Structure 1
Amino acid sequence: MEKVVDSLNERLNKMKNIIVAVLLVLGCLTGYSQTVKNSCNWNETVKKKCKNDLKPFHYYAFKITKITFSGSSQFKEVEVPLFHDAEYRFVFNTEGLHQNVKIEIYDKPASYENRTKIYSGTSSERHFVFDPPKSSTHNRIYIDYIIPANSSAKAGVVDKGCVIFYSGFKH
């Protein structure tokens, strides 16, 4: 009988140790949760504001570029195809960013050394319209987003945002 009791106690101790180990692992995992701070706000008000600013141009396209800020600087390039014989209007909405991002528009992609800068600005303008000169919009343009490193990044906080881009054209 003693052997049976000792065997049961030994098994119970092993099970107790396993349960304690599992609880410790779960406690560590839940203690390292991340908070996501996403300020991207693409709602009806923003849509109406952007489409209204396209007038008298005809709506052509829109693109939401999502940005996750990190401890290192980043670069994102968006290619926008264009009609050859049209005038364009670009509307940018950066209300969905906590930090400033540099916005540059070029006639060629970043891989070309001899590209021409058409526009340069920052997201601090929050909502702005740009009418590129017709001479600079042949069959496509390239929008570069230069995203600085997030020096104030807090451990466990992921900072996200977006740039909303609308384009319109007229012949």
Structure 2
Amino acid sequence: MNRHRKSIFFGFLAVVVLSGSRPGTWEASEIIDYCTKESARRKSSEMLLPYKYSGSRSKSFTLKNYSQTRSMEIDLVHNRPYKIIFNREGIPEGQKLEVYIYDKPNDKKKRYLLFSNNSEEDIVVFETKYVNDFNYSEIFVDLVIPSFPGDLSGITVKGCLVTTVGYLNETLEDKRPIKHNDQYRR
């Protein structure tokens, strides 16, 4: 076999082998994406007041015929009140994404559950000032994504959760002088 025919043969062989290792890729698949990241970020940021915006993160996922758990870590500054908003509007109607907040990651023993919410509301708010003796530099969030109740053959259903974090800078705000009638008062 000459060199040109060998390269054609091996190229064809590579296509056959690679396409055979990915079953179902030849089927037409409709993608339904419920994720509304920008809208969810905007709504969540507006709900932060009087807290100052610290950051946001989105967690995208593909719904399956079984429930899934995703984890994320949120870094915090000691002794500072935080407001964390979980915007669940990016999941299909009627689905219930559960939020659990712990003091340690899921591979550690003796984790303490700080907060949980499994309601069907689109917005879930967690404020650290309502947790007794809250003194953590990081928290660990477990998201339980429910199984999709419908038939998933031929379709891919995607969703997302947008998490927005804000902090309250009480130490600076409480000590800032207020100007009133040319007098400073505390």
**TM-score of the superposed pair, with normalisation by structure 2:** 0.70
Match runs of 1:22-171 below 5 Å: 32-43=27-38, 45-98=39-92, 99-122=95-118, 124-132=120-128, 133=131, 135-171=133-169
CA distance in 1, matches of 2:56, 2:67: 25
Give the deviation of 1:127 after TM superposition.
Answer: 1.4
Q: Percent identity?
A: 27
Deviations 1:33-60, CA, capped at 9 Å, x for gaps: 00111000023x4333211111111111
Higher Cα Rg: structure 1 or 2?
Answer: 1
Q: Which aligned runs of 4 or more in structure 1 are off by greater than 4 angstroms?
A: none
Please state which structure has a larger fraction of its residues in helix.
Answer: 1
Give the letter aligned to residue 32 of structure 1: E
RMSD value over aligned CA atoms?
A: 2.0
1:103–1:137 distance in 2 versus 1, CA, 3 Å: farther
Question: How many matched pairs?
Answer: 142
Gaps of 5+ in 2: 1-23, 170-186
State how far apart, in whole Å, the 1-side matches of 2:166 and 2:132 are: 13
Gaps of 5+ in 1: 1-28
